[in-house]
Amino acid sequence: MPSTEHGRILLPIARTAIAQALGQTAAPTHPSTAASWLQAPGASFVTLTQQGRLRGCIGTLEAHRPLHQDVAANAVAAALRDPRFAPLQARELAQTDIEISLLSVRQTLAFRSEAEALAQLRPGVDGVVFESGRFRSTFLPQVWAQLPDAAGFMAHLKQKAGLPADFWSAQVRLERYTVTQWKETDFQPTPDGPPAMEAA
């Protein structure tokens, strides 16, 4: 079961990977990656923000490599290869906050209509993978904060896949997952000393 300590280890792995990719000297600030849970396959997303605004987000839906490698690779990709943003510059890194989302195993939904599909979604809880033919997209559970209505969430998910908001087909496939997330800001000291909050 992922814990707060997992976040304390994974977040520095992500930051070190980005710093090294940007040519900065970054001594590892985390324990050995030999721990069994770091070596186990894992699927993660790494999100970068600056003053609360998205600066990059790249992830993996299938667990196909050791978790520490997945986090490091996705961190570098979020910084340098998110097509929505220019590559992160070295001078920006200090002002960039990192968030890691560790994905659960995905669950396929069964439904006969879009209404049935929407009724099964759990706002604020589910990440959703949308697929229809060659079109595919996903939203992390965090996106519910901006799109709290299930119908609006689904409409934007279809648009992200490159389809009209009102698209529907018998070939639509939906999967849901949950995440355990950790933010660097969760571990930053408050003026009184202890962390601002602990990650769940």
Spacing of C-alpha 38 from chain mean position? 17
* pLDDT tens-place string over residues 74-88: 999 999 999 999 999
Which CATH number characterizes residue 70's domain? Answer: 3.30.700.20
Secondary structure class of 55 (helix, strand, coil) = strand
Q: Could you give the number of structural domains in the chain?
A: 2
- 169, pLDDT greater than 80: yes
If asked whether residues 36 and 23 sit together in one domain, one would say yes
Give the per-residue pLDDT at 152: 98
Residue predicted with more confidence, 56 or 186: 56
- The residue segments making up the domain with residue 20 are 4-103+180-187
Which CATH number characterizes residue 150's domain? Answer: 3.30.1490.150
Mean pLDDT of 2-23: 92
Tell me, yes or no, whether 194 lies in a domain: no
> Six-digit token pair at 144?
């519910």
* pLDDT tens-place string over residues 103-157: 999 999 999 999 999 999 999 999 999 999 999 999 999 999 999 999 999 999 9
The pTM assigned to this predicted structure is 0.87
Give the per-residue pLDDT at 189: 66
Half-sphere exposure of 185 (CA within 13 A, CB side): 11
Please report, as a single letter, which amino acid is at residue 17: A
